[in-house]
Chains A and B, each alone.
Chain A
Amino acid sequence: MATDDLTLVKRVREGDQRAFRLLVERYQRKVYAIALGMVKDKHEAMDVSQEAFIKVYKYLPHFKGDSSFYTWLYRITVNASIDVIRRRGGGRLEMVEFDETLQLDSPDAHIGALGSRLGTNPQKSALRRELAEKIQEALEQVPEKHRAILLLREVEGLSYEELATTLEIPKGTVMSRLFHARAKVQKLLSEYLELDEAKSGVGTE
Chain B
Amino acid sequence: MSSNPACQTFLPMLSPFVDGELLPAQRVEVERHIAVCHDCTGRVADFRAESGLVRLGMEMLADEADFSQFAQGVMARITPYKLPLLDRWKLSLSEIFAHQRAALAYALAGAACALLVAVPWLMRDREPVGYASPQMAVESVNAERGARISPVVKRAKDGNTIIWLVDTPVPAEDAGTPGARGEELPQGLGEEMDEELEMERPMGNGEKALDPQRPTGGEL
Contacts and interface: CB of A to CB of B under 8 A. Distances in A.
A139 B54 contact: yes
B21 A159 contact: yes
Contact of A14 (B48, B50, B59, B91): B91
A113 interface: yes
A39 B36 CA distance: 41
- Interface class of chain B by DSSP: helix
B204 interface: no
B49 interface: yes
Given A21-B71, A135-B54, A46 B39 contact: no
A126 B70 CA distance: 30
B56 interface: yes
B2 A116 contact: no
A1 interface: no
A160 B16 CA distance: 9
Most A Cβ at <10 Å: residue of B52, B56, B57, B60: B57
B58 A135 contact: yes
Interface in B22-79: 39, 41-62, 65, 67, 70-71, 73-75, 77-78
Contacts, number: 179
Interface string B75-113: 101101101000110010001000000000000000000
Interface residues on B, range: 35 or more
A184 to B, nearest CB: 10
Contact of B71 (A25, A108, A129, A136): A25
A87 interface: no
Given A24-B74, A160-B19, A175-B15, A132 B50 contact: no
Given A16-B91, A16-B95, A28-B71, A120 B45 contact: yes
Contact of B53 (A20, A104, A135, A151): A135
Interface of A: 13-17, 20-21, 24-25, 28-29, 32-33, 36-37, 42, 45-46, 49-50, 53-54, 57-58, 61, 102, 104, 108, 110-124, 127, 129, 131-136, 139, 150-151, 153-155, 159-160, 175-176, 178-179, 182, 185-186, 189-190
20 contacts: A14-B91, A15-B80, A21-B75, A24-B74, A42-B65, A50-B74, A54-B74, A54-B78, A112-B43, A115-B48, A118-B53, A122-B52, A124-B59, A127-B53, A131-B57, A132-B57, A150-B54, A160-B16, A186-B49, A190-B46
